[in-house]
Amino acid sequence: MALLPPLKRPTLAHYPGDRYLEPLFRRVHGRVSPLAEPPADSGLRPVMGEPGLPVVGKTFLFMRHGPQLSIEHYEKFGPVSWTNFLGMRACAVVGAEAAQAVLVNKDKAFSQSGWQWFIGPFFKRGLMLLDGEEHLYHRRIMQEAFTRPRLEAYARQFGAVIEREVPQWPADEPVQVYPMVKDLSLGIATEIFMGAEQDEESARIAEAFEDCVRAGLAYVRFPVPGLRWDRGLRSRKVLEEYFRSRIPAKRASDDEDLFAALCKVETDDGHAFSDEDVVNHMIFLMMAAHDTSTITATAVCWFLAKHPEWQERCREESLVLADAGPIDLAGTEKLQSLDLCVMEALRLVTPVPGMARRAVRDTEILGHFVPEGTMITVSAWASHLLPMIWTAADQFDPSRYEEPRREDKQHRLAHMAFGGGAHKCIGMSFGRAEVKALVHTILLHHRLELPHPGYEVAWDMTSLPTPEDGLPLVLRPLRKAPR
Ligand code: HEM
């Protein structure tokens, strides 16, 4: 059961003395200068920006203020700017138009090696880290693991896990929703991704997997025994051995899990994954799916607790499906109001706040000169908060996606929580269905209430957004639970 510890301080966003240091950090911008001088006669403008503090740059401010800081830079320098962050000079891209230039990547000037720095050693050769023809080749094979019939089979399986677990969640007292959802999502990863029982062995694998995720965010980024990076490298080996040793049995099985699918999928022209590919893709898929779905479901729970009128509207639609057994894929698609709420939660708390790229040659973004080697982050979260697309951008207002408003239709990348271009999330339908199945089941069993009137959640933005206090909500059992 999830108890209620105090805020997890200190973090890189909250540290002793932060109240006094923060105003100082806010005042030190450093000298405004160009990222690089554009070539003469190119007609390009320089990317302007400022370094922040010596050595650490704006790292701590970003960890504390997340998208708000990107918006400040946007207001000061426009959609393309630079600053120093995590020990490097990075170019930040904000807004749908600039994001499109990078994500659609018409001239193939931007590579996925931007992600390499963050997660490369632990998630090597995952789909998101591949480029060009090679990426296309792997994506076409992987697409076969996400066809409609396969999604239906996954949804039947996670529907059953959710239906088994959610009714057992503690009720009538504040419980931390985030760790409960994270546990459940890990259970789903074990049963539906790996096709394994939830036992000691799978707990060991889940731990190894978490080590890899944590290592990607390590501050000391080389192996020192006992520290995160080293643990991540060892854990990667554990995961490789685990999956590699099970491939022959999976290839021969009739299992319907994602691991079995990756072992067996083939394109029409006969291309399939090698054993090595299956191992690399499995490890990456677990990472890509787990935290993103957990954060989204947690954020939806928060917004529904804060906006009971939307909670009621979603529950009414859920009640229509209450007697049909564990929800399936078609069922999740009927939950229209919940879909609006999921979209809005993804906009306001974007699980992948930024997408990393690197310029592989001198290029330009919206007429700004970007030299070869520049690290680029497409700031999805900040772009979701710009007032030129979103009315009352900081407000939870799911109706903005309904006709005739359809604010999201103003630009094809207005809403970019799942990315865009060739690397757009391959698990989008899976992720949305999983989140909706989970929240639907919660709504059938419980009323989500704030722990006290006026409670507001604070999001820790040191890495992906998570609630600082785990999001304590009260799950009030509904008088008449379904079935
Ligand atoms: C709400 C949940 C999710 C969100 C918000 C999300 C978000 C994203 C984003 C923003 C990207 C693009 C990254 C980039 O361009 O740099 C991405 C890519 C990817 N996602 Fe998701 N994701 C979610 C769930 C999932 C799930 C459930 C799976 C698998 C079952 C998955 C698998 C992937 C893969 C394999 C890629 C790489 C695609 C490629 O490079 O071709 N994601 N995701």
Q: Tell me the domains of the chain and their CATH numbers.
A: 18-477 (1.10.630.10)
Distance 364 CA to ligand 1 centre (A): 26
Q: Which residue's C-alpha comes closest to atom 28 of ligand 1?
A: 427
What is the pLDDT confidence band of residue 324, given thresholds at 50, 70 and 90? confident
pLDDT > 90? residue 401 = yes
Closest listed residue to residue 431, CA positions, set 260, 201, 258? 258
pLDDT score of 306: 98
**Which residue's CA is minimally distant from atom 12 of ligand 1?**
419
Is there a contact between 130 and 241 (Cβ–Cβ < 8 Å)?
Answer: no
Per-residue pLDDT, averaged over 448-470, amounts to 93
Q: pLDDT-based confidence at 83, cuts 50/70/90?
A: very high
Q: Is the pLDDT of residue 6 over 70?
A: no
Residue pair 111/363 in contact (Cβ under 8 Å)? The answer is: no
The tens digit of pLDDT for each residue in 121-168 reads: 999 999 999 999 999 999 999 999 999 999 999 999 999 999 999 999
- Whether 179 shows a pLDDT value over 70: the answer reads yes
Give the distance (Å) from ligand 1 centre to CA of residue 203.
24
Can you tell me the distance from the alpha carbon of 153 to that of 40, in angstroms, rounded to the nearest whole number?
Answer: 58
Please tell me the distance from the alpha carbon of residue 143 to that of residue 131, in angstroms, as a whole number: 16
326 CA from centroid of ligand 1 (Å): 25
Query: Rounded CA gap, 116 and 216, in Å?
Result: 10
Q: What percent of the chain has pLDDT over 90?
A: 80
How far away, in angstroms, is 218 Cα from ligand 1 center?
22
Centroid of ligand 1 to alpha carbon of 1 (angstroms): 30
Amino acid residing at 28: V
Give the model's pLDDT for residue 421: 97
Evaluate if residue 481 carries a pLDDT over 60: no
Q: Give mean pLDDT, residues 417-441.
A: 98
Looking at residue 12, its pLDDT comes to: 59
Bridge partners for 91 per DSSP: 82, 376
At 190, list the tokens. Answer: 């074990």
Q: Higher-confidence residue: 340 or 17?
A: 340
Predicted confidence (pLDDT) at residue 196 exceeds the cutoff of 60: yes
Alpha-carbon 268 to chain mean position: 31
Q: Are strands 459-460 and 466-467 parallel, antiparallel or unpaired?
A: antiparallel
Least confident among 5-9, 35-39, 355-359: 5-9
Per-residue pLDDT at 1: 36
Q: What is the mean pLDDT of residues 426-431?
A: 98
Reported as a pLDDT band with limits 50, 70 and 90, residue 15 is: low
Q: How buried is residue 245: exposed, middle or buried, by Cβ count under 10 Å (0-12/13-18/19+)?
A: exposed
pLDDT of residue 7: 42
Rounded percentage of the chain residues whose pLDDT exceeds 70: 94
Q: Is 355 in the pocket of ligand 1 (CB under 6 A)?
A: yes
> According to the model, what pLDDT value does residue 2 have?
37
CA angle 254, 431, 118 (to 5 degrees): 105
- Ligand 1 centroid to residue 267 C-alpha, Å: 21
Q: Minimum mean pLDDT among 44-58, 230-244, 401-415: which range?
A: 44-58
Distance, in Å, from the CA atom of 467 to the CA atom of 37, rounded to the nearest integer, reads: 41
The closest residue, in CA terms, to atom 14 on ligand 1 is 355
Specify the pLDDT at position 198. 84
How large is the ipTM?
A: 0.99
Average pLDDT on 11-16 reads: 62
- What is the pLDDT of the chain when averaged over all its residues? 92
Query: Is the CB of residue 426 below 6 angstroms from any atom belonging to ligand 1?
Result: yes
Cβ atoms of 374 and 359 closer than 8 Å = yes
Protein residue closest via CA to atom 43 of ligand 1? 425
* Highest averaged pLDDT of the listed ranges 203-212, 287-296, 456-465: 287-296
The pLDDT assigned to 293 comes to: 97
Atom 40 of ligand 1: nearest residue by CA position: 128
pTM: 0.94
Contact 239, 209 (CB under 8 A): yes
Whose structure tokens read 């630009």?
411
Residue 288 Cβ inside 6 Å of ligand 1? The answer reads: yes
